[in-house]
């Protein structure tokens, strides 16, 4: 997940950046000492997650959220616990971290961010999460249909009621099932190798024992799916 850090204290930004560096799925793009600079950045860039301090001069964290038309996932970071109830009135806020932040508590917040997508349309959203058109896959995220180039997908992972769709350029969290997206992906490119994983066979880098390497992800291959995987490979 591409993320930014907004906090008026340099030490606090450094601590969060260090915590992020220990999580492979996080990529810190920028740090900002105030919300105004962050708003200018967000007007030109898309991100997945914001670490946001509540107490900042002139412009609070909640003021900042109110300015965003389509906010990404947000983890609040603060030394004040009294705003926790107010915080969860916002659908975009996935967790509330009270400083000093421990690595264990930070990891728990990241897991929440990874599995929680924005609210989807109330009307039969599960029936229209993905639709396909040629080489395109459309996913319903935050009441918008986002187009994904199917060949760019290298991995789909199921986590609870959500799936993570990983592409060459960006990752997406969608409220859906692995079975549903499997039905919409071309069989000549994609293969379900495990009950929780679908891979793009063309993106395989290495195979060892009962696992495959795709990008930096090591994916388990179940015993029942391994024969089909081997059939797909152009073996010498």
138 in a structural domain: no
Cβ pair 34, 12 in contact under 8 A: no
201 in the same domain as 155: yes
Q: What is the structure's pLDDT at 126? A: 38
Distance between CA atoms of residues 224 and 130, nearest Å? 27
Higher per-residue confidence, 124 vs 162 = 162
83 in the same domain as 24: yes
Rounded to the nearest integer, the mean pLDDT of the chain is 86
Domain tally, the chain: 2
Sheet-wide strand order for 136-141: 130-133, 136-141, 144-149
Question: In this structure, what CATH number is given to the domain that contains residue 164?
Answer: 2.40.50.1020
121 in a structural domain: no
Q: What is the structure's pLDDT at 69? A: 83
185 in a structural domain: yes
pLDDT digits (tens, 9 = 90+) for 128-151: 445 555 678 888 877 778 889 999
Q: What is the structure's pLDDT at 234? A: 74
190 in the same domain as 92: no
Q: What is the structure's pLDDT at 97? A: 92
100 in the same domain as 19: yes
C-alpha 178: how far from chain center: 16
Phi and psi based region of residue 215 (left: phi greater than 0; alpha: psi -120 to 50; beta: remaining):
left
68 in the same domain as 16: yes
Give the structural domain span for 16: 2-115
Reported as type and span, the H/E element at residue 86 is helix 84-87
Q: 53: closest CA among 99, 109, 114, 105?
A: 99
Residue 125 has pLDDT above 60, yes or no: no
Statement: the pTM of the whole predicted model exceeds 0.75: no
Q: From residue 59, how far is each of 35, 39, 106 by CA, in Å? A: 7, 11, 25
Residue 23's Cβ-count burial label (10 Å; 0-12, 13-18, 19+) is middle
Average pLDDT over residues 76-93: 82
Q: What is the structure's pLDDT at 118? A: 42
Tell me the two tokens of residue 30. 């920028």
Residue 147's Cβ-count burial label (10 Å; 0-12, 13-18, 19+) is exposed
Q: What is the structure's pLDDT at 90? A: 83
pLDDT digits (tens, 9 = 90+) for 147-194: 899 999 999 999 888 899 999 888 999 888 899 899 889 988 999 999
Higher per-residue confidence, 167 vs 57 = 167
Distance between CA atoms of residues 208 and 66, nearest Å? 49
């Amino acid at each position: 997940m591409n993320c930014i850090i907004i906090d008026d204290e340099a030490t606090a930004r450094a601590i969060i950046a260090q915590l992020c560096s220990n999580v492979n799925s996080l990529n810190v793009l920028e740090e900002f000492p105030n919300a105004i600079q962050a708003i200018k950045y967000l007007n030109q860039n898309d991100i997945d997650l914001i670490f946001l301090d509540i107490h900042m001069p002139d412009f609070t964290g909640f003021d900042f959220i109110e300015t965003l038309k389509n906010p990404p996932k947000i983890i609040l970071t603060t030394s004040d616990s009294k705003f926790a109830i107010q915080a969860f009135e916002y659908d975009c806020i996935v967790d509330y971290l009270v400083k000093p932040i421990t690595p264990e508590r930070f990891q728990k917040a990241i897991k929440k961010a990874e599995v929680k997508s924005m609210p989807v349309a109330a009307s039969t959203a599960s029936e229209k999460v993905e639709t396909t058109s040629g080489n395109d896959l459309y996913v319903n995220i935050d009441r918008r249909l986002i187009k994904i180039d199917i060949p760019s997908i290298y991995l789909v992972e199921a986590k609870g009621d959500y799936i993570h769709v990983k592409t060459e350029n960006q990752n997406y969290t969608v409220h859906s099932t692995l079975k549903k997206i499997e039905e919409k992906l071309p069989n000549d490119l994609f293969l379900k190798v495990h009950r929780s994983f679908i891979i793009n066979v063309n993106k395989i880098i290495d195979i060892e024992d009962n696992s495959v390497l795709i990008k930096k992800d090591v994916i388990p291959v179940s015993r029942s799916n391994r024969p089909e995987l081997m059939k797909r490979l152009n073996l010498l």
